[in-house]
Chains A and B, each alone.
Chain A
Amino acid sequence: MSISIRNISKQFGTFQALDDVSIDIPSGELVALLGPSGCGKTTLLRIIAGLDYADRGQILLDGDDASARHVRERRVGFVFQHYALFRHMSIADNVAFGLRVRPRRERLAEAEIRRRVKRLLELVQLDWLADRFPPQLSGGQRQRIALARALAVEPKVLLLDEPFGALDAKVRKELRRWLRQLHDEIHVTSVFVTHDQEEALEVADRVVVINKGKVEQIGTPEAVYDHPATPFVANFLGSVNLFHGRVEDGHLHLGEHALALGAGGGSEGRAVAFVRPHEFDLVPGWHADGGLPARILRVAAAGPSAQIEVSRVDGEVIEVTISRDAFQLLGLAEGDQVSLRPRHIRVFQAEALAA
């Protein structure tokens, strides 16, 4: 089922939680709503589900306006951040709940319900926990049961609120791969909310970046990462180094130094530029013809790549990441002079940052 979010606005008192948000989600896609906490992403998810109401705008489910439709009739599955399992019911009863509360004439036979619960528990690979109670389960197990319970009613749309937020790092990684696989198997249109850019980039087909109640950018993970539309997106996705300068005749001028911008180097004037740590080349020594002169402050070379902190002449600290082998070949040590040559610079007009 496709979801169409049209001009949704929502206010809590004087706080504008959502401001004219429009997103189209085609059927079968797995979409991440990504943004810092308090950006309105969970509110949007709850409005799609019908747990909250928008002040303005429409939610279309498969082209039909669902704004007036009750939560019960929207056929959505919702997985809560803290799972919201029914603590006094066994795991099997939790999963069966949605099937058992149906009106009598629509209800399946009890044997069929049991069969389906068993199948769902197998799907989430926890059929051996059927008779346990929620407090006896680990966080990751509870999350999967919450998912099985949501899927039991065969929802047309699956909504997940920070599905991995409450789990520790290792389980989180495992579970999000598993969610991606599950989605590839069952292909239900899914929307999940997260503040973790790594999670959004890894799992989603498309990422919607939200900030202060507004959509900043919608695109594939590659698109939002490589071609951020706004300074916020550039800043929020992964770590970046920020430069303030001027764009003139195809160069970014930073104090007395200039960096060549490639084709389409942006409009002239005051600008901010972003360079990701891994987009620098390091050249030993200072060179008049290219690169920013700097000095190596600190090197952390444990792990697959070397994290290098360098300081520019004016004292500004820049983070650089290069592969450990490359770093060893350069034979550099702390205190050495280097030139920084960015392979890729994203330039925004300075006004865009303030906005």
Chain B
Amino acid sequence: MSTSIALHAGSLERAETASTREPAWAKVVLISVALSFFAVFLLLPLGTVFAEALRKGWGAYLEALVNRDAWDAIRLTLITAAIAVPLNLVFGVAAAWSIAKFEFRGKRLLITFIDLPFSVSPVISGLIYVLLFGAQGWFGPWLQEHDIQIIFAVPGIVLATIFVTFPFVARELIPLMEAQGSEEEEAAVVLGASGWQVFWHITLPNIKWGLLYGVILCNARAMGEFGAVSVVSGHIRGQTNTMPLYVEILYNEYNYAAAFAVASLLALLAIVTLALKTLVERQTRRQLQEIAATSESET
């Protein structure tokens, strides 16, 4: 089946003659539009970040990063990611598992709601928590009575980050797990494996690349999230400032070199994420191809 399609596609490519090909100028124009867009809107800002950061030399650059406030912002960002990412890893696997392997009422609804954090503006995501846990919010009085601070404190930042980054892992896993089906898990159970054994020995190895991919994206967003975190943070230096918020504060104080220095760290994180993503993507694609190949030779 697939061979015939491949052959077909191959012959189509070969059949592309002067009569079907776009004129040369169209090709040139399209490619140059794409490339200049890429250069102006993506590459230039990225370059600017590093150029501005290093404008006053390496000394100023390092100074902007090793002072106490910067350090606190980096620490809070890492803590937030360290809490939000593992939690969303668990939530994401659980959500994907229940969607891919079980039939239940409200499944479609759950799939739709998983995407909610992507479709709603991050500011709203933050506001939700202010409305819930803020001083005037639903749980506000109760929280105050018990002396628990969520809004304008680290728990609020973590909550907002969890909300915003929730879909990454689940969305990555659902199609993968649906493609794999649950026959392997059933086979393992019949052979006597317990639930945990099935998960560790069968499910996890089958989804590991997709999972890693989701975690990388989730982490990048957790560290870079601005809008939702900004609403719940209160911008208290050294306490509730994450790196993106800190960049804004420095910028507003006309401390450009320091702002760009911290921004360059975030940009670096983005580049590392992209590199990892590309690597892992290659693995996931290979895995999907393997599934396709196995099911093909079976039918």
Interface on A for B, CB 8 Å cutoff? Answer: 49, 51, 71-72, 76-78, 80, 82-88, 97-98, 101-102, 134-135, 138-139, 142, 146, 149-150, 152-153, 166
Query: What are 14 sample pairs from A and B whose C-beta atoms fall under 8 A apart?
Result: A72-B189, A80-B186, A83-B298, A84-B186, A87-B206, A87-B290, A87-B294, A88-B205, A97-B193, A97-B201, A98-B191, A101-B188, A134-B294, A149-B187
Q: How distant is the Cα of A153 from the Cα of B295 in the complex, in angstroms?
A: 26
Cβ 8 A contact of A135, one of B183, B190, B201, B294: B294
Chain A residues near B202: list those with CB within 8 A.
86
Interface on B for A, CB 8 Å cutoff? Answer: 183-184, 186-194, 197, 201-202, 205-206, 290-291, 293-295, 297-299
Cβ 8 A contact of B197, one of A77, A101, A142, A150: A101
Expressed in whole angstroms, the minimum distance between the Cβ of B186 and any Cβ of chain A is 6
Expressed in whole angstroms, the minimum distance between the Cβ of A146 and any Cβ of chain B is 8
Contact across chains for B297 and A139 when beta carbons are under 8 A apart: yes
Contact across chains for B206 and A88 when beta carbons are under 8 A apart: yes
Q: How distant is the Cα of A146 from the Cα of B191 in the complex, in angstroms?
A: 11
Contact across chains for B190 and A49 when beta carbons are under 8 A apart: yes
Chain B residues near A138: list those with CB within 8 A.
297
Chain A residues near B188: list those with CB within 8 A.
86, 97, 101
Chain A residues near B184: list those with CB within 8 A.
84-87
Q: Which residue of A lies closest to B297 (CB)?
A: A139
Contact across chains for B191 and A153 when beta carbons are under 8 A apart: yes
- Given known A-B contacts A88-B205, A166-B299, A76 and B294 have beta carbons under 8 A apart: no
Expressed in whole angstroms, the minimum distance between the Cβ of A352 and any Cβ of chain B is 37
Known: A80-B187, A84-B183, A150-B191. 13 other contacts (CB 8 A): A51-B189, A71-B189, A71-B190, A72-B192, A76-B190, A77-B190, A82-B183, A85-B187, A101-B192, A101-B193, A142-B298, A150-B190, A153-B192
Expressed in whole angstroms, the minimum distance between the Cβ of A171 and any Cβ of chain B is 12
Q: How distant is the Cα of A231 from the Cα of B186 in the complex, in angstroms?
A: 37
Contact across chains for A97 and B191 when beta carbons are under 8 A apart: yes
Chain A residues near B290: list those with CB within 8 A.
87, 135
Chain B residues near A86: list those with CB within 8 A.
184, 187-188, 201-202
Contact across chains for A51 and B197 when beta carbons are under 8 A apart: no
Interface of B, helix, strand, loop or mixed by DSSP: helix
Q: How distant is the Cα of A102 from the Cα of B197 in the complex, in angstroms?
A: 10
- Given known A-B contacts A82-B183, A135-B290, A51 and B192 have beta carbons under 8 A apart: no
Q: How distant is the Cα of A170 from the Cα of B65 in the complex, in angstroms?
A: 71
Expressed in whole angstroms, the minimum distance between the Cβ of B25 and any Cβ of chain A is 46
Q: Which residue of A lies closest to B198 (CB)?
A: A101
- Given known A-B contacts A87-B290, A97-B201, A101-B197, A78 and B295 have beta carbons under 8 A apart: no
Q: How distant is the Cα of A149 from the Cα of B48 in the complex, in angstroms?
A: 60
Q: How distant is the Cα of A135 from the Cα of B206 in the complex, in angstroms?
A: 14
Chain A residues near B187: list those with CB within 8 A.
78, 80, 84-86, 146, 149
Q: How distant is the Cα of A84 from the Cα of B64 in the complex, in angstroms?
A: 57
Expressed in whole angstroms, the minimum distance between the Cβ of B236 and any Cβ of chain A is 48
Chain B residues near A149: list those with CB within 8 A.
187, 191
Chain B residues near A83: list those with CB within 8 A.
298
Q: Which residue of A lies closest to B193 (CB)?
A: A101
Closest 3 CB pairs of A and B: A98-B191, A84-B183, A84-B187
Expressed in whole angstroms, the minimum distance between the Cβ of A48 and any Cβ of chain B is 11
Contact across chains for B206 and A72 when beta carbons are under 8 A apart: no
Q: How distant is the Cα of A88 from the Cα of B293 in the complex, in angstroms?
A: 14
Q: Which residue of A lies closest to B188 (CB)?
A: A97
Expressed in whole angstroms, the minimum distance between the Cβ of B176 and any Cβ of chain A is 13
Expressed in whole angstroms, the minimum distance between the Cβ of B205 and any Cβ of chain A is 5
Q: How distant is the Cα of A97 from the Cα of B294 in the complex, in angstroms?
A: 20
Q: How distant is the Cα of A152 from the Cα of B291 in the complex, in angstroms?
A: 25
Chain B residues near A82: list those with CB within 8 A.
183, 295, 298
Expressed in whole angstroms, the minimum distance between the Cβ of B284 and any Cβ of chain A is 14
Q: How distant is the Cα of A72 from the Cα of B185 in the complex, in angstroms?
A: 12
Chain A residues near B206: list those with CB within 8 A.
87-88
Chain A residues near B293: list those with CB within 8 A.
135
Contact across chains for B201 and A78 when beta carbons are under 8 A apart: no
Expressed in whole angstroms, the minimum distance between the Cβ of A14 and any Cβ of chain B is 15
Q: How distant is the Cα of A150 from the Cα of B186 in the complex, in angstroms?
A: 12
Q: How distant is the Cα of A87 from the Cα of B189 in the complex, in angstroms?
A: 16
Expressed in whole angstroms, the minimum distance between the Cβ of B160 and any Cβ of chain A is 37
Q: How distant is the Cα of A71 from the Cα of B197 in the complex, in angstroms?
A: 15
Chain B residues near A77: list those with CB within 8 A.
190
Q: How distant is the Cα of A97 from the Cα of B192 in the complex, in angstroms?
A: 9
Chain A residues near B193: list those with CB within 8 A.
72, 97-98, 101
Contact across chains for A101 and B194 when beta carbons are under 8 A apart: yes
Cβ 8 A contact of A98, one of B192, B194, B295, B297: B192
Q: How distant is the Cα of A154 from the Cα of B189 in the complex, in angstroms?
A: 15
Expressed in whole angstroms, the minimum distance between the Cβ of B144 and any Cβ of chain A is 49
Q: How distant is the Cα of A71 from the Cα of B299 in the complex, in angstroms?
A: 28
Expressed in whole angstroms, the minimum distance between the Cβ of A172 and any Cβ of chain B is 13
Expressed in whole angstroms, the minimum distance between the Cβ of B298 and any Cβ of chain A is 5
Chain B residues near A101: list those with CB within 8 A.
188, 191-194, 197, 201
Chain B residues near A142: list those with CB within 8 A.
298
Chain A residues near B189: list those with CB within 8 A.
51, 71-72
Q: How distant is the Cα of A86 from the Cα of B298 in the complex, in angstroms?
A: 14
Q: How distant is the Cα of A97 from the Cα of B189 in the complex, in angstroms?
A: 11
Q: Which residue of B lies closest to A77 (CB)?
A: B190
